[in-house]
Amino acid sequence: MATGTPTRALFMLFGGTGDLALRKLYPAIFNLYKKGSLSNDHFALIGLSRKELTDDEFRAKIIDSVSSEADQPEQAQAFASHFYWKSHDVTNNDHYSELSDLADQLEAKYATEGNRVFYVSMAPRFFGIVAQSLHDQGVLSTNGGFNRLVIEKPFGRDYASAKELNDALTSAFNENQIYRIDHYLGKETTQAIPVLRFGNPMLEAVWNHEYIKDVQVTLAEKLGVEDRAGYYDTAGALRDMIQNHTLQIVSYLAMDQPNSFVDTEIRREKVKALESMEIYDAEGVKQNFVRGQYGAGPDSVPYREEPGVPSDSNNDTYAAGKIVFNNHRWGDTPFYIRSGKKLADKQGRIDIEFKKPLVDIFAKGTKQPAELQGNVLSFYIDPKIGVTLSVNTKDSEQGLHTETIDLNYLQGADRAAQVPLPYERLFHDILTGDGTYFASWPEVAAAWKFVDPVQKLWDQEPGDFPNYESGSMGPKAADDLLARDDNQWYWPHNVH
Ligand code: NAD
C-alpha cells in the first residue's frame, strides 16, 4: 500500500544496463510504481552508460527485468514507456550538457516538479566524477524540487580513500542530499531492531553490560566468490561485509535511544556508538581479529583455485573480530562479529546473550534439574525473518526439572513473501527524503577508522591460508577468540 502522496520524480541512473540495475533496481522502482508510492503519471527515468541503445531497446530490457513482478504484461509496458536511454560517457563534459537538456524536456513532459534522483550504479572510481560533473555541468535541478544523489557500495577502500570520495561528493551535494546505499539496512529485521529496543521498555531496561553477557553478529554465506573474483580479491570479507553491513547493524544494537525517530537524531546516536569502539594497535588486532580463507571442501575447490583468483592470493574470505565499546552502556560486554564465504549455511543473525541468574535456586534442590541458561534474544535477518527469545521454564515431567525453550516469532513464507525487498524500501525512503536507513559520512568514517588497522596488518603479513574447509564454520581461531573470554558462538553450537 502507498503511504502519503505519490512522489513525482525524474531518475537518472548511471550504469543503466548494469547487473545491479537490471536485477534489483528496476524491479524495486516498479514495485513502488505498482503500490502507488511513485506517481504513475509523473515520473520518468533516463538510463545512462556508454552503450548505444534506442529507447525501445532499453524499454525491452526494462520489461524483461520487471516482468516477474507484473500483474499483467500491459502493466510492465506502461511502466517501461516512462524510460529513456542516453548514451553517456561519464568522463565527457558535453554529454552532461546533453543530459541536462533531455532532463529539462522530460521534466516538462512528465511534470516532475524539479525532483531529481541521480543513482550512480557504476564502478566506484566513477562516483566522484559523476557527482562533480552533475554539479559543474548544470544537471542539478534549480526549479525548487529536490536533488538526491544515491551512491552504491563500496564507499572507499580505507579511511583516506573514503574521505577523498566524500570530499568529492560534498563539493557538489550536501550531506543531507547524499544517500549511501547499504542494502542490509533495507532488510526487515535490521529495521525492526530500533523498534524492538525502544518500543519495549522491558528490553531497553536490560540493554546494557549489567545484563548482557555478549552480543554476536553473524553474516554467513554458503556461496563462494562465484564470478566476482575481479572485485572480491581486491576487497575481502573485512571490507566487503564488516566495515559496512556488519558495523551498521552493530550501530543499531549499540546506540543510545535517540530523542525522536528521525534520521538526524538516529544518526547522531549511531555515530556516538561507532566512535566509542576501541581502535586496536597491531598487537590488539592480533588478539581481537581473525581472518580466514577457504580451502577445498566436499565438491568445492579452494579459493585460490577459483576462476580469476591468483594462486597466491592473500585475500580474506572470512573475518571475525571482537569489539569493545569504551562507554558506560557496554562496559566490559564484548560484541563479536563475523562474516565469511563458503560456510556451512547461509545465515544473517544476531544473538544477544544475557547473563545467567546470579543464583540458581533450583540447583540447590534434590530434583536434579538442568542448569539454568542465560536468556538469548536472536534476530533472524536472512534468509529467515523473525525474532526468538530463549527462556528457562519447567519441563512437563513429574517433579521439578528445568528446560530452556524458545519463544518464537519467525515469519511464515506467506508473510515473508509480502515483505518489500531491501532496494524497494530504500528507494521509497530516497523518494520521501528519509535518511534513517542510510549510512551518514561520520558513521562511514568511524567504521573505516576502526577497520583500517586490521586491514593494514593483514596487508603487511600474509595469512596462513587456506585455514578453513569449505562448508565448515570458519577457522578454529574464531572459536578460540570467544573461548578466551569463556564464551562460544551461539550459532550453531547452542541453537535449540
Ligand atoms: P556492472 O559492471 O554490471 O555495470 C556498470 C555499468 O557502468 C555498465 O552499465 C557500464 O556500461 C557502465 N559504464 C562503465 N564505464 C562507463 C563510462 N565511462 N561511462 C558511462 N558508463 C559506464 O556493475 P554492477 O554489478 O551493476 O555494479 C554497479 C555498482 O553497484 C557497483 O558500485 C557495485 O559495487 C555495486 N553493487 C553491485 C551489486 C550486484 O549485485 N551487482 C551488489 C552490491 C553493490
DSSP 258-324: PSSSSHHHHHHHHHHHHHTBPPP-HHHHHHHEEEE-EE-BTTB--GGGSTT--TT----SEEEEEE-
CATH of the domain at 253: 3.30.360.10
Pocket test for ligand 1, best of 12, 17, 20 (most atoms within 8 A of CB): 20
Same domain (yes/no): 189, 318: yes
Identify whether 180 is part of a domain.
Answer: no
**Backbone conformation region of residue 433, classed left if phi is above 0, alpha if psi is from -120 to 50, else beta:** left
Mean pLDDT of 94-103: 97
Quick check: 226 pLDDT over 60? yes
Which residue's C-alpha comes closest to atom 17 of ligand 1? 89
Quick check: 448 pLDDT over 80? yes
Confidence of residue 3 (pLDDT cuts 50, 70, 90): low
Same domain (yes/no): 387, 240: yes
Grid cell locating 123: 564502478
Task: Report the C-alpha gap between 43 and 11 in whole angstroms.
Answer: 8
Question: What one-character DSSP code corresponds to residue 445?
Answer: H
Task: Report the C-alpha gap between 334 and 216 in whole angstroms.
Answer: 9
Helices within 405-440 (DSSP H only): 413-418, 422-432
Residue 369's pLDDT is: 62
Confidence of residue 365 (pLDDT cuts 50, 70, 90): low
Bigger pLDDT: 299 vs 249: 249
Quick check: 398 pLDDT over 80? no
**From the CA of 223, how far away is ligand 1's center (Å)?**
21
Mean pLDDT of 169-176: 96
Mean pLDDT of 96-100: 97
Pocket test for ligand 1, best of 122, 153, 226 (most atoms within 8 A of CB): 122
Domain end position, chosen among 152, 173, 200: 152
Identify whether 428 is part of a domain.
Answer: no
Identify whether 337 is part of a domain.
Answer: yes
Ligand 1, CB cutoff 6 Å, lining residues: 15, 17-21, 49-51, 88-91, 121-124, 152-153
Same domain (yes/no): 119, 230: no
Same domain (yes/no): 278, 392: yes
**From the CA of 254, how far away is ligand 1's center (Å)?**
33
Confidence of residue 203 (pLDDT cuts 50, 70, 90): very high
> Which member of 245, 328, 401, 496 is catalytic?
245
Identify whether 249 is part of a domain.
Answer: yes
Q: Which atom of ligand 1 is nearest to the CA of 127?
A: 32
Mean pLDDT of 283-303: 97
Quick check: 94 pLDDT over 50? yes
Quick check: 2 pLDDT over 70? no
Quick check: is 245 catalytic?
A: yes
| 266 Cβ contact partners less than 8 Å away, ≥ 6 residues apart | 194, 255, 258, 436
**From the CA of 49, how far away is ligand 1's center (Å)?**
9
Identify whether 489 is part of a domain.
Answer: no
Same domain (yes/no): 265, 407: yes
Residue 250's pLDDT is: 98
Identify whether 206 is part of a domain.
Answer: yes
Number of domains in the chain: 2
Identify whether 260 is part of a domain.
Answer: yes
| 173 Cβ contact partners less than 8 Å away, ≥ 6 residues apart | 131, 135, 147, 149
- Considering only CA atoms, which of 275, 236, 230 is closest in space to residue 256? 275
Same domain (yes/no): 136, 273: no
Q: What is the pLDDT of residues 14-23, one digit of tens each?
A: 999 999 999 9
Domain end position, chosen among 129, 152, 175: 152
Binding-site residues, please?
50, 89-90, 153, 183, 187, 221, 240, 341, 346
User: What's the whole-number average pLDDT of the chain?
Assistant: 95
Q: What is the pLDDT of residues 416-440, one digit of tens each?
A: 888 899 999 999 999 999 999 999 9
Same domain (yes/no): 265, 146: no
Residue 445's pLDDT is: 98
Percentage of the chain modeled with pLDDT above 70: 98
Q: What is the pLDDT of residues 459-486, one digit of tens each?
A: 999 999 999 999 999 999 999 999 999 9
Q: What is the largest CA-CA distance in the chain?
A: 86
Percentage of the chain modeled with pLDDT above 90: 90
Same domain (yes/no): 145, 270: no
Same domain (yes/no): 108, 198: no
CATH of the domain at 141: 3.40.50.720
Q: Which domain holds residue 410?
A: 185-422+440-483
Task: Report the C-alpha gap between 123 and 396 in whole angstroms.
Answer: 60
Q: Which atom of ligand 1 is nearest to the CA of 124?
A: 32
Identify whether 356 is part of a domain.
Answer: yes
- Which of 202-211, 367-376, 393-402 has maximum average pLDDT? 202-211
Quick check: 367 pLDDT over 70? no
**From the CA of 259, how far away is ligand 1's center (Å)?**
38
**From the CA of 115, how far away is ligand 1's center (Å)?**
24
Same domain (yes/no): 100, 147: yes
Bigger pLDDT: 299 vs 57: 57
E strand spans, 108-265:
116-120, 147-151, 178-180, 212-220
Quick check: 1 pLDDT over 70? no
Q: How big is the CA angle at 18 (ends 12 and 20), to the nearest 5 degrees?
A: 90
Same domain (yes/no): 112, 197: no
Residue 481's pLDDT is: 98
- Considering only CA atoms, which of 418, 440, 152, 400 is closest in space to residue 270? 440
Same domain (yes/no): 202, 333: yes
Q: Which atom of ligand 1 is nearest to the CA of 88?
A: 20
Which residue's C-alpha comes closest to atom 4 of ligand 1? 18
Quick check: 257 pLDDT over 90? yes
Mean pLDDT of 139-151: 94
Quick check: 319 pLDDT over 90? yes
Residue 138's pLDDT is: 95
Mean pLDDT of 27-44: 94
